[in-house]
A and B are shown apart, each in its own frame.
Chain A
Amino acid sequence: MEIPYIVEARPDTGLHNGKLGIWLFLASEVMLFGALFSTYILLRVGASEWPHGDLSVLLGTINTIILIASSVTMVMAWASLKLNDWGKHRLYLALTFVLALVFLVNKYFEYSEHLTKGEGPWHSTFFAIYFTLTGLHGLHIVGGMVVMAYFLGPGAKLWKKNPDQFANRIEATGLYWHFVDLVWIFLFPVLYLL
């Protein structure tokens, strides 16, 4: 049996099912990160003192720039498909993957520096919420990379069979990736600067 409305829009929603699905998923993600942001506020308001300057602003800024750049390459990967330019699509998607990897490498150096100083999640309330928020965000980066690797590898075959469906899948991947970028845009000032 063929799944309906994977390419054409459903008449009642005006959307193909994949797009509605990814937006509903992102809505649940907003609540997940919202709960953690709410926890951060509760902990910070209740703390008699809050550490400042314990994190590397330089590394945080570099990672912000990397994620913003990866959002652009991701949207360009989708736009290239719409312009029927397969080569450019592959290039932009691979670039997004590499930028995500660089983000994680930076995070690894950041984490290991804190852990060698004994500043793990057990060290203080600040480091507990820092590792929880950035760890969960990092897992989302890994999840995005798995999907991108699939579309760079075996998933790429779909382009020849059904280009519209492939473009829809890249669009859904992009929506997820931009959301991951969006979360970081708020995490960066909250954890590194304030």
Chain B
Amino acid sequence: MHSDPAEVRKSVRSYITVFVMLMVFTIITVGVSRFHFAVPLAITVALIIAAMKGSMVAGVFMHLSHERQLIYGTLLLTAAFFFMLLFLPVLAYMDRVRY
């Protein structure tokens, strides 16, 4: 987190750059969806673009690119539990009752 005015001014330029990139990626996301790829490919492409956009928001707007270790540690732990949560459907699928 910058407090020096010169550093903040430099950050403002990166905010504008990221804004333009997010707009471009939004247009790409909508454009790609028009191609009607097979569902697994479409999901993969859409989520890759969304992840790229998300990392730009988190890294630049939320200043995660230069944050304290404690925040990284907290987020790493959250990410671990988040992925465990996402895999619950897989576990539920494997645990189906077979007749």
Contacts and interface: CB of A to CB of B under 8 A. Distances in A.
A185 interface: yes
A23 interface: yes
Interface in A136-194: 171, 174-175, 178-179, 181-182, 185-186, 188-190, 193-194
B46 A38 contact: no
A26 to B, nearest CB: 8
Chain B: interface secondary structure? helix
B1 A34 contact: no
A45 B49 CA distance: 22
Contacts of A42: 88-89, 92
A31 B80 CA distance: 10
**Interface range on chain B (Cβ under 8 Å from partner):** 35 or more
Interface residues of A, number: 45
Interface of B: 1-3, 5, 8-9, 11-12, 15-16, 18-19, 22-23, 26, 29-30, 33, 39, 42-43, 46-47, 49-50, 53-54, 57-58, 61-62, 68-71, 74-75, 77-79, 81-82, 85-86, 88-89, 92-93
Interface of A: 13-15, 20, 23-24, 27, 30-31, 34-35, 37-38, 41-42, 45, 57, 61, 64-65, 68-69, 71-72, 74-76, 79, 82-84, 171, 174-175, 178-179, 181-182, 185-186, 188-190, 193-194
